[in-house]
Amino acid sequence: MARKKVNLAYIANASARKATLKKRKKGLMKKANELSTLCDVDACAIISGPHDFHPDVWPSDSGVKHVIARFKKMPELQQHTKMVNQESFIRQRINKAEELLKKQLKENHHKDMTHVMYQCLNGGGFQYLNMVDLMDLDGLLKQNLKDIERRIEILKKDRSDMTTINEIGREQNGLND
């Protein structure tokens, strides 16, 4: 974002990509930290390269600082109530987050498959898909076919209804010849 407008696409050059990752990762973590401090929210950022299993996460130990800072700002009576509920509250939020994660993954997979379907129908072959993906794709295509057939049926029905109406209309207007 300096000296040039960024082209928002994958950076092909490996070292440039690594440098950008390092800088922007730091920036993102800082932003998450600031947001949680300023606005009384829990923010969490996870960054993981695709080739290793070592995701970087925020909050780290710095996380506790803003929690305590926030806590100290509350009226004392609220502090007490808050503390009582804290554990169950956190547990609920974790569950909610995990549910959302699962939902997102499922949704993403479906969209991925839809995209793959269009790609394949658009000239690409199926040779690079594995069995699991092919079966997913199969299901997706069948579902689409069913939808299409249902629509055809509806259109047929509409047309025949329309014809009937027209016939009735003609009869009523005495236009039968």
Partner DNA sequence: TACACTATCTATAAAGA
Partner DNA sequence: TTCTTTATAGATAGTGT
CA pair distance 31, 8, nearest whole angstrom: 20
Q: Is the CB of 31 or the CB of 103 nearer to DNA?
A: 31
Among 31, 96, 102, 159, binds DNA (CB under 7 A): 31
40 binds DNA (CB under 7 A): no
Under DSSP, the state recorded for 125 is: -
Per DSSP, 56 falls in state E
Determine if 44 is a binding residue for a copy of itself (CB under 8 A): yes
Beta carbon nearer to DNA, 34 or 158: 34
For the chain, the distance separating the N- and C-terminal CA atoms, rounded to the nearest angstrom, is: 76
Q: Which of 15, 88, 122, 172 binds DNA (CB under 7 A)?
A: 15
Question: Of residues 50-79, which lie at the interface with a copy of itself (CB under 8 A)?
Answer: 50, 53, 55, 57, 59-61, 63-64, 66-70, 73, 76, 79
Shortest separation between residue 151's beta carbon and a copy of itself, angstroms: 25
Q: Kindly report the length of the chain.
A: 177
Nearest by Cα to 51 from 18, 7, 86: 18
Does position 135 interact with a copy of itself (CB under 8 A)? The reply is no
User: Could you say which DSSP state residue 128 is in?
Assistant: T
Residue 83 CB neighbour total at 10 angstroms: 11
Residues 8-27 that bind a copy of itself (CB under 8 A): 8-12, 17-18, 20-21, 24-25, 27
Question: Which residue number, 30 or 91, has a Cβ lying nearer to DNA?
Answer: 30
* Least CB distance to a copy of itself at residue 153 (A): 31
Binding status of residue 28 toward DNA by CB under 7 A: yes
Cβ burial of 131 (10 Å; 0-12, 13-18, 19+) is exposed
Dihedral sign, CA of 80, 82, 86, 88? positive
Summarize as ranges the residues that interact with DNA (CB under 7 A). Answer: 1-6, 14-16, 18-20, 23-24, 26-28, 30-31, 34
